[in-house]
């Protein structure tokens, strides 16, 4: 499984560091990639809301919704608790399924309230316990839970998405039939980096899936071409 490590090195050399997770700059209300910084309380709630909003939608739509929420002072759990559901849904229309996503944000906020909004306690908690709790929140699936854990809390957990499945199936590492946890376990076993490396790897996979290994892949310009069974 050196292929998993080789692919990481090639993707990093080709795309460069991605600096996830993007955070809204209050000066211009656009999200900015800031380099990998330690997770912190100020950004945790925004990252969790962004992870919910990005379900089944491109980030540019999420960007607009986060900017709106920031302008309205809604990237704060106390504000989200107070606002009526319909108004919250109106602010995030650009992300699609906005009524459902508004409920999910409310559900997540309620979970955070049950945790006393104590970010430091979350950082000290057993990640397996947190993951289980997050997965039990209505509307939070494995990818969203893992994004919150990795990018919001700095937990070393590999985030799997559709790009991961597509690229690593084409590389011949996956069959295309694996479930989420099977893909995640494979990466946990064969990619022994830090949480920061896991952050970077997921971001690089997204970049590559968008720019190169698209539905119709651009193989001639692909940095993974020498590793790819699709081209053997
Ligand atoms: S060579 Fe083509 S199919 Fe293989 S990873 Fe690159 S873009 Fe995807």
CB 114 within 8 A of CB 88: no
How far is the centre of ligand 1, averaged over its atoms, from the C-alpha of 225 (Å)? 6
Instruction: Please report the pLDDT score of residue 232 as a whole number.
Output: 58
Q: Locate tokens 């937990």: which residue?
A: 155
Instruction: Please report the pLDDT score of residue 107 as a whole number.
Output: 98
Q: How far apart are CA 86 and CA 99, in angstroms?
A: 7
How far is the centre of ligand 1, averaged over its atoms, from the C-alpha of 158 (Å)? 21
User: Which domains does the chain carry?
Assistant: 2-16+158-231 (1.10.1670.10), 39-153 (1.10.340.30)
Atom of ligand 1 nearest to the CA of 228: 4
Does the pTM surpass 0.85? The reply is yes
Residues with CB under 6 A from ligand 1: 167, 170-171, 212-213, 217-219, 222, 224-225, 228, 230-231
Q: Name which residue sits closest to atom 4 of ligand 1, judged by CA.
A: 228
Instruction: Please report the pLDDT score of residue 116 as a whole number.
Output: 97
Q: Which pair of structure tokens corresponds to residue 124?
A: 């000290």
Q: Name which residue sits closest to atom 2 of ligand 1, judged by CA.
A: 219
Counting ligand 1 atoms within 8 A of each CB, the residue from 7, 14, 209, 213 with the most, and so the one to mutate, is: 213
**Alpha helices of the chain — where are they, by DSSP H?**
2-15, 41-53, 59-71, 77-82, 85-91, 98-114, 119-124, 127-136, 142-147, 153, 162-170, 180-190, 195-211
Q: How far is CA 87 from the centre of its chain?
A: 25
Instruction: Please report the pLDDT score of residue 39 as a whole number.
Output: 83
Q: How far apart are CA 126 and CA 69, in angstroms?
A: 31
Q: Is the peptide bond before 161 cis (omega within 30 degrees of 0)?
A: no
Rg of the Cα atoms in the chain: 18
How far is the centre of ligand 1, averaged over its atoms, from the C-alpha of 63 (Å)? 28
Instruction: Please report the pLDDT score of residue 229 as a whole number.
Output: 82
How far is the centre of ligand 1, averaged over its atoms, from the C-alpha of 60 (Å)? 25
Q: Locate tokens 């039990």: which residue?
A: 136
Residues in the chain where the model's pLDDT stays below 70: 1, 35-37, 230-232
How far is the centre of ligand 1, averaged over its atoms, from the C-alpha of 160 (Å)? 18
Instruction: Please report the pLDDT score of residue 163 as a whole number.
Output: 97
How far is the centre of ligand 1, averaged over its atoms, from the C-alpha of 219 (Å)? 5
């Amino acid at each position: 499984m050196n292929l998993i490590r080789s692919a990481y090195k090639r993707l990093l050399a080709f795309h460069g560091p991605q600096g996830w997770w993007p955070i809204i700059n209050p000066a211009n209300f656009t999200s900015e990639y800031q380099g990998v910084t330690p997770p912190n309380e100020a950004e945790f709630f925004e990252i969790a809301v962004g992870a919910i909003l990005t379900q089944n939608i491109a980030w540019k739509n999420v960007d607009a919704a986060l900017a709106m929420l920031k302008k309205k002072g809604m990237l704060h759990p106390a504000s989200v608790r107070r606002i009526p559901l319909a108004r919250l849904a109106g602010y995030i229309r650009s992300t699609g399924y906005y009524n459902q996503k508004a409920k999910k944000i409310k559900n997540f906020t309620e979970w955070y309230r049950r945790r006393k909004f104590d970010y430091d306690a979350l950082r000290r908690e057993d990640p397996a316990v947190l993951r289980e709790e997050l997965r039990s929140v209505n509307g939070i699936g494995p990818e969203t839970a893992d994004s919150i854990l990795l990018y919001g809390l700095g937990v070393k957990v590999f985030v799997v998405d559709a790009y991961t499945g597509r690229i690593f199936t084409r590389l011949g590492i996956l069959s295309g039939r694996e479930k989420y946890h099977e893909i995640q376990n494979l990466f946990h076993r064969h990619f022994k980096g830090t949480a920061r490396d896991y952050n970077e790897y997921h971001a690089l996979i997204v970049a590559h899936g968008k720019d190169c290994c698209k539905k119709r892949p651009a193989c001639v310009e692909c940095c993974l071409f020498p590793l790819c069974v699709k081209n053997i």
